[in-house]
Structure 1
């Protein structure tokens, strides 16, 4: 193993240690750790010190489109949730599911999928629990079931490019959503079907235990509405429902068609959504500030990752690391590295944070895979398979919010959701392999 490769692995280990031990935030570690190592390499004559700044800027330029896309996607879906685009469907779910444990549980999973479109797990858990927890308690459903189906469904939707992991891997490998996310959509559909099937099994078990509880339809239908405060109610635009639905459908169709960059689509979509729903400039500014608070943490991570990737690439550190890994993999296993990435991602992405996995490990695997003719996009898709069970990791902050609001412990949630969540990843893996998204 070369000296440069050893330094690279040490840098990754230092980065992972600092963020996992909470000695530095992920953003600070992404900026400071590679800079310090880059300066050290320059002083040792192993890298051009004078070009360190240009290396960083090259990395940031590659990461910027992903950061822009994430920011405007969060603004768009946040605006649509404020305007009430999803309210009729949410209230319909609540109305239809009254009294029947099976319908309530499946409806909870469906609701979690809808609300997860904004890419923020904490928001999803707050809305789902505030809408459905009282219904679950009134019927007497096992309290572990609501957080189980919510976290399973959010695990599928977490692959959305503005949800975090996909943005990280696109930034780390210099890819765009059309290369990584769009091919994963069929797997997300199959993963959602799996979650609904699991919710159905849980519902059948609870129906057999509880029967159907008589419950006022109106009371169930208004569980979501009563949670709205006065300010939120003022933002609702029910008279613009069809306009918002049409705009969202058009945006999704353009996304799948791959005719325009995702960043441009969401920039235009956000501008139109704000103008259509909130012509008042002050209200627009308030909403941008409100949802910008959700966007800033993820966007700052993506842009900061440009520092790490720029220095790793510019100093040829990542090449040396990949070469050392290549030499350690038996020739007979090299062509299977994408499948190895998908399977190894299950424990890696559970015990590591998304930042450590996607910024620290996946780029090395991608560079190694290139030596076997496997593209970075294929490794990126394989690495996302693990998202089916990542949210159960004790390193995910929003999971503690879900546990607290649902009144369950992380241990109980893990016992209930870990195996079926691994199942989510496996069915998504089977779908990806069937579609040839990466080689076996």
Structure 2
């Protein structure tokens, strides 16, 4: 079967998947498994081929799934033990809350948490710290997810981050030099993130947030135990030290992410709940939340394996470039960047930079457009779609913690992220970073 037909089948399958997810017609597990398998069969692949595709996809998310199961258990224990109570009390003096300050604090933590370049780590740190607070003051969970997604736009582009390293590899240039070139645009991204926080804060206040303390409905732990969560509680001091240690090993890379949380869970259970029956009871109470999202991660892996290994993503990227009218060829880099967010959502990070970027460079270079300019425009626009990419495994760590479905997150956040990606591109053109 020709590459064009493969691409058409891929686009139709992706459209069906997005429609099902956005409409919330079924659990995400079902379309992520059934649609790619049917797609591969229609494209002429054998069951043996599909088995290989799925195996490859599963291998790519095994470490993320293990980390998710243990990290969510760890932070559930910490939440029940009252670790975050002092933060909540500090940001809600006398039962009142400054919604803008809370969301701005979440944005700041996003930037710090994303220093290691790991989206999964960032979701865990931000959501476990701010979900209990957001629930108590009536901030909707999709708004908190949107703040984190917005903060990760600029943080994604640090020199050691995946997008910048991928683009530098394509250009065969030093990653630090590429980062220095796009640095002024990152300042714009930070400003847009703060603007996002301001807009969300206004919307949440209009929705009733901050006017009264809402009942704590956070699923990350059923309740804080009486007498826990104070600086005079020795277990609180121990839990804080343990959490700092876990995060240190996580960021330093000395220990694998999943082993960090495996060790953390073991120690946390032993100290906070020394009774074996209580330990089992706690693990059972957290099992439902972690199991649902772990199953979802494995389902996403089926989709990723089939679409990548089956050649659908590469064929789709080639077709996107070929449909550009001839008169727009000199401007193909910024014309396609207008839809960089949905392209990132459709193709994923690897195909976006390793497949799309080289092809577009080849299209516009004869017209005097530098490869550096093309890489810059796709870095500063595509990154806005990374945190709402339905095939991005890390995002499901955040969705699982927040107990928000993927369709709700995408519909809520894309209203801010896509327009701001275009605004950032316009600013980059005005600053001379991107050639027009």
Q: State the TM-score bracket (shorter-chain normalisation).
A: 0.5 to 0.7
CA contact (8 A) 1:16 1:360 kept: no
1:58-114 deviation digits (Å, cap 9, x = unpaired)? 11111222222222222222221111111122123333x567xxx644555468778
1:280 aligns with 2:275: yes
1:31-430, aligned counterparts within 5 Å?
31-42=33-44, 47-95=45-93, 104-106=98-100, 108-109=102-103, 118=124, 127-130=133-136, 132=137, 152-158=143-149, 179=162, 232-233=224-225, 236=228, 238-329=233-324, 331-333=329-331, 335=333, 340=338, 344-345=340-341, 348=342, 358=345, 365-366=352-353, 367-369=355-357, 371-372=359-360, 381-384=383-386, 398=404
Partners of 2:32 and 2:299 within 8 A in 1 = yes
**Distance 1:40-1:262 versus aligned 2 partners, 3 A rule:** same
Shift of 1:31: 0.7
Q: 1:74 to 1:418 in 2, by over 3 A?
A: same
Deviation at 1:257, TM superposition (A): 3.2
- CA distance change for structure 1 residues 359 and 262 in 2, over 3 Å: closer, same or farther? farther
Task: Measure, in 1, the Cα distance between the counterparts of 2:161 and 2:144.
Answer: 23
Contact preservation (8 Å) 2:68, 2:294: yes
Deviations along 1:147-176, one digit per CA (max 9) or x if unpaired, are 5xx754442235799xxx9xxx9xxxxxxx
1:5 and 2:12 aligned: no
* Alignment partners' CA distance in 2, 1:234 and 1:386: 38
TM-score (norm 2): 0.59
Q: How large is the Cα RMSD of the aligned pairs?
A: 5.4
Q: Distance in 1 between matches of 2:151 and 2:15?
A: 28
**1:321·1:364 contact (CA, 8 Å) conserved in 2?**
no
Contact between 1:178 and 1:258, CA under 8 Å: does it hold in 2? no
Cα distance in 2 for partners of 1:59, 1:34 equals 12
Map of 1:354 onto structure 2? none
Conservation of the 8 A alpha-carbon contact between 1:73 and 1:266: yes
Q: Structure 2 CA distance, aligned partners of 1:337 and 1:265?
A: 44
> Separation in 1 of the partners of 2:124 and 2:130?
8
Is the Cα contact below 8 Å between 2:388 and 2:414 reproduced in 1? no
Aligned-pair CA distance for 1:273: 2.5
Tell me if structure 2 keeps the 8 A contact 1:338–1:369. Answer: no
Task: Work out the CA distance in 1 between the residues paired with 2:423 and 2:260.
Answer: 27
Q: What residue in structure 1 maps to residue 176 of structure 2?
A: none
1:29 positional shift: 0.8
Q: How many residues align?
A: 349
Task: Give the Å deviation of 1:248.
Answer: 2.0
Q: Is contact 2:61–2:297 with CA below 8 Å preserved after alignment?
A: yes
The whole-number CA distance in structure 2 between the counterparts of 1:49 and 1:73 is 35
CA drift of 1:317 comes to: 2.1
Kindly state the Cα deviation for residue 57 of structure 1 after the two structures are TM-superposed: 0.7
Q: Deviations over 1:120-169 (max 9, x none)?
A: 97996675343x36xxxxxxxxxxxx55xx754442235799xxx9xxx9
- Alignment equivalent of 1:29, drawn from 18, 28, 31: 31
Change in 2 beyond 3 A, CA 1:86/1:65: same
| Unaligned stretches of 5+ residues in structure 1 | 134-145, 170-176, 207-212, 214-219, 350-356, 391-395, 403-413
Q: Is the 8 A contact 1:59 1:309 kept in 2?
A: yes
Displacement of 1:48 after TM fit?
Answer: 4.7
Please state how far the C-alpha of 1:281 moved relative to its aligned partner. Answer: 2.8
The answer to whether the 8 Å contact 1:385/1:425 transfers is: no
Provide the rounded CA distance (Å) in 2 between the counterparts of 1:71 and 1:3. 39
- CA distance in 2: counterparts of 1:82 and 1:181, whole angstroms: 39
Unaligned runs of at least 5 residues, structure 2: 111-121, 166-178, 180-185, 362-374, 390-394, 396-401
